[in-house]
Chains A and B, each alone.
Chain A
């Protein structure tokens, strides 16, 4: 075979360009892909499976309605092992796939803090569920929160406990991770505005086997109401049981984990008559009810916020891409920020300039194991 100079140059140019062409073609493949960092192993593996179910229900609905830009939407899951290093590794595995156009991060604020620098570098939209208020103040334009942040939960817990229940002397028990610390701080800061005082601010390390010292501290503080921010349901279950066993029966208003399916199963009667702020409450709106029905069809149990935020995140990201007419990150970001009055499972989405979509919470009561919707308290957002 005779190789001419022109032929050689063409072949060389072709071989240099080929990987980029193939990569681009691959990126514009048959499906539009969302990467999802989710716990499949470790302490939060159970809630991770709920999160996957929520995302899959949204995926099915999006695809039934025509998909994204005429293509089916696809989810790519990566296990975060319920650890920060695991989350960082999982995100970097997903980020290395150029055909993934947007991501779902974690419901755990501490993991979001760990992944946030990489998310900034990758420069693609990320929906997440961590509720530490600082996460949307990091100057990272790619983060979009699908749950109300803890500045709202703190305000709602304080307002409900002080105004509705009439209790003014508070004990706050919180995890010492990013979520628990930020939540506890937000609640403590909201107390003076509601004429209440702080009797005890007690942190604990996650995965504790015993809460006796914490319960005794609550008892000795003389508090007449308890506010909590628990990260793991097993911790909450052990604490709830020991609290009741050691005779502490003051009213208790907790962060959303207090109404999680796992917490209800583990703690049982120890959580009866407690109140919780819940970003997801099935009876709070027709959209929440519809999600509840769809979820029960799949899992045969009631949904909770572990699945509702991923449902909303997949729905909103798909909606934004369709509205933008593109998967180009900046266009999707603009479309996300323009979302107004979208009725999701968690509530009505109005994204502010920081990327916070929700601005209020539901109050629910544990009535002998049944979660009953009480009321919704919303705050007016500052939309940019």
Chain B
């Protein structure tokens, strides 16, 4: 039983990381109908910014965190203007290719500026974790789980109970109609990119003390987060969370009870099963229904 509880905690912890990055995927998909393959790089860039502000410059952790997120907001805006906006009237394919290009550009720019050395980023706590009965709880994973839950709650409140949230929803559902109603569609999409970059940044900064800060960290997380998004249903926030958590738990238990080397295989087996039997994901709607 101890083993099961330990694995469950770890699965939920790693699943929360996938879920956080998946949230960014979903938000941008809802606003623009394209997948942003640079979402993982937002996490990587934010983690490196944290290293620069907190470790290299020596700013207090909270200050470094806030500055890093402000930088991420700026990066989100630039990303929108440079990667999405010029191609907004084209089909989804050029935009997707553009995001892949941006992902490679961000990874290589970081490599050129910082160099290839992985970095250590300390967490928010002085101690690494604590025992709760027979289960060891890593403080950073506890924080990740709490922050994910808070962000989901905040996002729900924001989209359902604020005018800006409703404008964003309207934009994601029908840009032309939103425009006719006087909603500044371009601004709404800009806000979405900024918010997604910040969410991706939070995920990167939170996970960095566990996985270290490296050029490849974004791609590794994003691949799983992308799978989580498909499992949950593209365009659905709840789906992204459930998908992320499910993926984390499935791969952790699969590794423990079936095979460690094939850990990633379990996650992608579930993904393939969903693509075959329920391509719209758990909560997603068919494109035809959406239309």
Query: Within B199-238, which residues are at the interface with A (CB < 8 Å)?
Result: 210-212, 214-216, 220-221, 224
In the complex, the answer to whether A238 meets B117 with C-beta atoms within 8 Å is: no
Flag B100-136 by CB within 8 Å of A: 1 or 0 each: 0000000010010001111010000000110000001
Min Cβ gap A135→B in Å is 22
Nearest A residue (CB) for B260:
A204
In the complex, the answer to whether A217 meets B256 with C-beta atoms within 8 Å is: yes
Q: Is the interface of A mostly helix, strand, loop or mixed?
A: helix
Nearest B residue (CB) for A214:
B260
In the complex, the answer to whether B220 meets A46 with C-beta atoms within 8 Å is: no
Query: Within A32-46, which residues are at the interface with B (CB < 8 Å)?
Result: 40-43, 45-46
- The verdict on B285 contacting chain A, using a C-beta distance below 8 Å, is no
Complex CA–CA separation, A247 to B136 (angstroms): 9
In the complex, the answer to whether B117 meets A210 with C-beta atoms within 8 Å is: no
Interface size on B, residues (CB 8 A): 34
In the complex, the answer to whether A241 meets B7 with C-beta atoms within 8 Å is: no
Min Cβ gap B215→A in Å is 7
Complex CA–CA separation, A205 to B224 (angstroms): 15
Question: Which residues of A are found within 8 Å of B211, using beta-carbon distances?
Answer: 209, 234, 238
- The verdict on B172 contacting chain A, using a C-beta distance below 8 Å, is no
Given contacts A216-B256, A238-B212, A245-B129, contact A49 B116 (CB under 8 A): yes
- Kindly specify which of A261-269, A275-283, A326-334 makes contact with the partner chain: A261-269
In the complex, the answer to whether B252 meets A268 with C-beta atoms within 8 Å is: no
- The verdict on B14 contacting chain A, using a C-beta distance below 8 Å, is yes
Complex CA–CA separation, A266 to B261 (angstroms): 23
Question: Which residues of A are found within 8 Å of B138, using beta-carbon distances?
Answer: 245
Question: Which residues of A are found within 8 Å of B220, using beta-carbon distances?
Answer: 207, 209
In the complex, the answer to whether B260 meets A203 with C-beta atoms within 8 Å is: yes
Complex CA–CA separation, A131 to B90 (angstroms): 51
- The verdict on B179 contacting chain A, using a C-beta distance below 8 Å, is no
Min Cβ gap A303→B in Å is 15
In the complex, the answer to whether B118 meets A41 with C-beta atoms within 8 Å is: no
Complex CA–CA separation, A285 to B81 (angstroms): 59
Question: Which residues of B are found within 8 Å of A49, using beta-carbon distances?
Answer: 115-116
Complex CA–CA separation, A209 to B220 (angstroms): 8
Complex CA–CA separation, A6 to B255 (angstroms): 79
Nearest B residue (CB) for A82:
B216
In the complex, the answer to whether B252 meets A43 with C-beta atoms within 8 Å is: no
Nearest B residue (CB) for A212:
B10
Given contacts A208-B263, A234-B118, A265-B120, contact A42 B216 (CB under 8 A): yes
Min Cβ gap B159→A in Å is 30
Residue from A203, A209, A216, A237 whose CB has the most chain B CB atoms within 10 Å: A209
In the complex, the answer to whether B252 meets A212 with C-beta atoms within 8 Å is: yes
Min Cβ gap A52→B in Å is 11
Given contacts A209-B220, A245-B128, contact A45 B215 (CB under 8 A): yes
Flag A203-229 by CB within 8 Å of B: 1 or 0 each: 111011110111011001000000000
The chain A residues found within 8 Å of chain B, CB to CB, are 40-43, 45-46, 48-49, 176, 202-205, 207-210, 212-214, 216-217, 220, 233-234, 237-238, 241, 245-247, 262, 265-266, 268
A41-B215, A266-B118 given; 10 more Cβ-contact pairs under 8 Å: A46-B115, A49-B116, A209-B211, A212-B6, A212-B10, A220-B3, A234-B212, A234-B214, A245-B136, A268-B120
Give 25 A-B contacts (CB < 8 Å), ordered by A residue. Answer: A41-B111, A41-B116, A45-B111, A45-B215, A46-B115, A46-B118, A49-B115, A49-B116, A176-B261, A204-B260, A204-B263, A205-B261, A208-B263, A209-B14, A212-B252, A212-B256, A213-B252, A234-B212, A238-B211, A245-B138, A246-B6, A262-B117, A265-B120, A266-B118, A266-B212
